Each structure stands twice: as structure tokens, then as C-alpha cells.
Chains A and B, each alone.
Chain A
Amino acid sequence: MKCEACQNRILALEYTPEPTEELREHLASCAACRTAQKKAVKLDALLARLPVPSSQRAKAKLIASLNDQLSVPSSKVPAYRQWMRSPLPGVAALVVLGIGGFFYFSKKQPQPELAEKPRHELLNKELGNVVKLARADSAPDRLRVWTDWATDLRGETRDLYKVAPAEELSSLARMYERAVNEGIVKQATRLPEHMDAEEKQKLLQAADTKLAEGVAEAERLHGEAPPQAQKYLKQMAETSREGRRKLEPILKGV
């Protein structure tokens, strides 16, 4: 075996779980390749030690929320529980938003007690939306829920943009983007063909109007926002604009 081939194999991590006889023999007789192998091992050791900040608090909060928030007795909210057991694609993103919202707000206040249940209004709204979405058994209904949810997120942004730190606004902007793209736009594309044209148009028009309001509002707030908020307001305006662009051909097709 040539040194180059040996060292390439070492670099390619081809030597696990056990080195081949050929490789072993070459290493036994070649100091240069043994050095290369030592370097590779050292590199692995260093990679395993790359520093990472602690995320134990976020981990504990998610676990606590799974144990507390999501384990709602089935007799109280059967639809919700039922939903939790069935993977619905549209709902998935909303749950993410919901718990994301919880974390977003939980970051704002010190919460040393892990057992403390999240009670923030946004989380409650989220869970309400999850239930609504679980009960929505058609694309039009889901489109309405997502449109309301996107509007709620805009409201939260409006309340917070002057005081919230950048990372929180970033979370809100991402949540909004998902509500628009994975919610409104996706459901709009799934509206049934046999749906009454007038009703369809009305529904899409309502979503489009909300997005248009989203563009105007984010641009207006941008003008008076502190520097750390401007980027995210711009992002939200662009999300709304992009959502409208995607809705346009669907609306025209009605």
C-alpha cells in the first residue's frame, strides 16, 4: 500500500471499525503514516471537544412542556389529544410555532422553576389555534385559522418591536414566515377545485388583504423602529409581499 492511499483512507474515516490487514501492515512499517494517523485521531478528539454553550434550560423547558402542557387529559379536549396522535402536516408547523412561541416568551422572563407552567397569552392563543386546526377538517377552514394566526403574530410584533431584543423579533419573524408560507400559501394551493368560486375568491381575497396589511404595517413600523428591529420588520414585509405574489396566480385562477 502506498502512503498516499493509506493517509487518504485515514482521512476518509475508512478505518473503522477495524483497520484492514493491509492498512495495519503499512502503518506498522511507516512512521509518516503513523504520524498522519495520530493527527487524525487528535483531530477527532478535538472535534469532540469543540465548545458548545449550555442549552440545558431550553431542554428542560421542552421536556417540562411535553410533560405538562401536552399531556392534557383526553376527557377535557378529545380533539386536541386526538390530533396529537395523528400526524397532520399543516398542524405540525403550528405546533412548532406554538411551542416556539412559548420559548420565545419564556426567554423574556427569568423562569428558574422548571415546573412552572407556561401561561403566557401567546401560548394560550397557540394552543387555541392548535385545537382549531385539529378541528378544521378542510383546507378552507385551515386557511382561515392560519390567516388569523398570522394576524395574531403581526399583533405581537406590533406590541413588541420597540422593546424586544433582536433575537426575539427574529423568532417572531420566522414564526410569521412559517404561518404565511407553510400555512396560508400551502392551504390556498389545497383549496378544493369543486369549491364554490365566489366563496373561494372571498377566502383568498381575505387572506390577501391581511397580507397586504402586513406589508403596509411592517413598512410603517420599520420607519419608526429601533435599529435592531428594522431588519425583522423588513423581513416580515417581504414575507407578506412574497405571500401575496404566491397567492396572486391562485386568485386569478378562480
Chain B
Amino acid sequence: MLRRVTSNHDTDALPPDEETEAILAAQAGDRTAFAKIVSAHWDRLFRWLFQMTRDRHRAEDLTQETFLKALVALKTFRAGSNFRAWLFRIGHNNFVNLKRSQRRTTAVLPDDAPDERGQDDPAATAEDRETLAKVQAAVRALPADFRAALLLRAEQDLSFKEVAAVMGITEETARWRVFKARQKLVQLLEPENEARP
């Protein structure tokens, strides 16, 4: 009854054993094995970075950089532990560096990312699309740290411990950020939901 809806963006996801095998092969220098890992994790990582940057090109750049940094640092990864959390930590560092460099040059991350509403599921009703657009706008309006934690937990399904590790914060802070972000977003849904049976 309480099962949470989890996203399914691993279009090429590898089963855990295969992933470990691919990581070990990549650590031994097999580039095609690393290509397999890229294929398995790209969509989720890009999705998260897009929600963070709100800009497709930047998100693509950051995704590529993250994988290439991961490739070079791969030997430091302990096969069998959570590769996704490790990868997202590199991605998060890249994102923070980007933000820092943009702050220095007085530019800001674009808030005018193209409106993606047109790409919604065609089967969705107009009402659904409207709600989705509302949530999208609200997610974008969240402070970056809260948005990052929320999406890592709710969308990427990482544990609070993993969210904390990715973001370099305590588990308690991760919980707090997710809680506050969800509280805000649920309030947004409230009037509409109450009107429904």
C-alpha cells in the first residue's frame, strides 16, 4: 500500500553482477566495458544534472565530464560498493565547480531553460500536464541543494546515507533537505488534490 513510485530511467541498466564484472574489466583497462557502464548510467545521471542545471548543453557537458573523470579515477572505486552513488558524487562535484566558476564571472545558471512541457507523455491528460508543469516549476524554484537532495532520494532512489555521501553533507542534513523540499511540493499539489474525490 505504501510502495513508493520509483522512476525507471535505466534504459540500459545492468544487473548487479554484470555491473561488477564490467567495472572490474574497466579497471583492468577494458574501454568497451567502461562504455557499457556509460550506457547503463548515462540516462539517470543526465536526468539529474539536467534538473540541476536546467540547461541541456551544460548537463551534457557535465555528464560527459563526470564519466571521464570516473574513468580516470576508476581504480580508486571499490568494486561491489555503490557505483551510482560514487558516480553521482563526481557529478555533484562537477556541478558545484560549475556553479562556483559561474558565480565568479557573475553569470548565473540559466533559469530560462527551454520549456519541456511539449515533450510530455502524449497519453497524459491536459490536467496531468498542467500539474506536472506546476511541479516542474516548483522543483526548479527550489534552492539547488534542496533540489539535489530531493531528486537523489526521490527520483534516483538513493538512500539518505548515499545522498549524504554524494553531497558531502551529514545524513541528518540530507533528511532535512528532502523533507523540506517535499513539504513544499506537496503543498503545491494540495488545492488540486483536495478538489478531487
Chain A: residues with CB nearer than 8 A to chain B?
A: 8, 11-13, 15-16, 18-19, 23-24, 27, 35-53, 55, 58-59, 62-63, 66-67, 70-71, 81, 84-88, 91-93, 95-96, 99-100, 103, 107, 167, 170-171, 174, 177, 231, 234-235, 238, 242
| Given A13-B153, A35-B193, A51-B116, A62 and B64 contact (CB-CB distance below 8 Å) | yes
Shortest CB–CB separation between residue A28 and chain B, in angstroms? 9
Task: Give bound CA distance, A254 to B63, whole Å.
Answer: 40
- A44 — which chain B residues lie within 8 A by C-beta? 4-6, 154
B173 within 8 A of A: no
Enumerate chain A residues within 8 angstroms of B125, measured Cβ to Cβ: none
Inter-subunit contact B38/A59 (CB<8 Å): yes
Instruction: Please report the C-alpha to C-alpha distance between residue A58 and residue B65 in the assembled complex, in whole angstroms.
Output: 12
**Cβ-closest 5 pairs across A and B:** A48-B7, A51-B116, A92-B72, A66-B35, A235-B105
State whether the Cβ of B42 lies closer than 8 Å to any Cβ in chain A.
Answer: yes
Q: Are A71 and B31 in contact (CB under 8 A)?
A: yes
Is chain A's binding surface mostly helix, strand, loop or mixed? helix
A67 and B31 contacting across the interface, CB-CB below 8 Å: yes
Complex partner residue of B64 from A16, A84, A99, A167, CB under 8 angstroms: A99
Give bound CA distance, A145 to B131, whole Å: 53
Q: B32 and A43: CB pair below 8 A?
A: no
Q: Which residues of A contact B51 (CB under 8 A)?
A: 50, 52
Q: Is the CB of B73 within 8 A of A59?
A: no
Please state if A234 and B50 are interface contacts (CB–CB under 8 Å). no
Contact A47 B119 (CB under 8 A): no
Contact partner of B121 (CB less than 8 A), chosen from A49, A95, A242, is: A49
* Contact B69–A38 (Cβ < 8 Å): no
Q: B2 contacts A15, CB within 8 Å?
A: yes
Taking a contact as CB atoms under 8 Å apart, the answer to whether A238 and B105 are in contact is yes
- Out of A53, A55, A99, which one reaches B68, CB within 8 Å? A99
- B132 and A46: CB pair below 8 A? yes
Within 8 A of A (CB), among B22-42: 28-29, 31-32, 34-35, 38-39, 42
- Inter-chain CA distance A37–B189, complex, in Å, is 12
Interface residues of B in 65-79 (CB under 8 A from A): 65, 67-69, 71-76
Please give, as numbers and ranges, the residues of chain A lying within 8 Å of B150 by CB-CB distance. Answer: 47
Please give the distance in Å from B3's CB to the nearest CB on chain A: 8
**In the complex, are the beta carbons of B132 and A52 less than 8 A apart?**
no
Q: Which of A19, A35, A87: most chain B Cβ within 10 A?
A: A87
Distance (whole angstroms) from the CB of B87 to the closest CB of chain A: 14
Given contacts A47-B7, A71-B31, A99-B68, A37 and B46 within 8 Å (CB-CB): no
List 7 A–B pairs whose Cβ atoms lie within 8 Å, in order of A's numbering: A12-B178, A16-B4, A43-B154, A46-B189, A53-B50, A63-B35, A235-B105
List the A side residues contacting B60 at CB < 8 Å: 55, 58, 103
Partner of B46, one of A48, A59, A238: A59
Docked pose: A63 CA to B128 CA in angstroms: 35
Report if A51-B119 is in contact (Cβ < 8 Å); known contacts: A58-B60, A66-B32, A235-B105: yes
Interchain CA distance A168-B71 in the complex, whole Å: 24
Q: How far is the CA of A39 from the CA of B185 in the complex (A)?
A: 10
Known pairs A24-B2, A46-B135, A238-B105 / 11 extra A-B pairs, C-beta < 8 Å: A15-B4, A43-B189, A47-B7, A50-B155, A55-B60, A59-B39, A62-B67, A66-B71, A92-B73, A231-B107, A234-B105
B166 at the interface (CB under 8 A from A): no
B131-184: which residues lie under 8 A (CB-CB) from chain A? Answer: 131-132, 135-136, 139, 150-151, 153-155, 175, 178-179, 182-183
Asked if residues B186 and A43 are in contact (CB atoms below 8 Å), the reply is yes
Residue interface bits B65-98, CB-to-A below 8 A is 1, else 0: 1011101111110000000000000000000001
Q: Please, which residues of chain B bring their CB within 8 A of the CB of A91?
A: 72
Shortest Cβ gap from B37 to chain A (Å) = 10
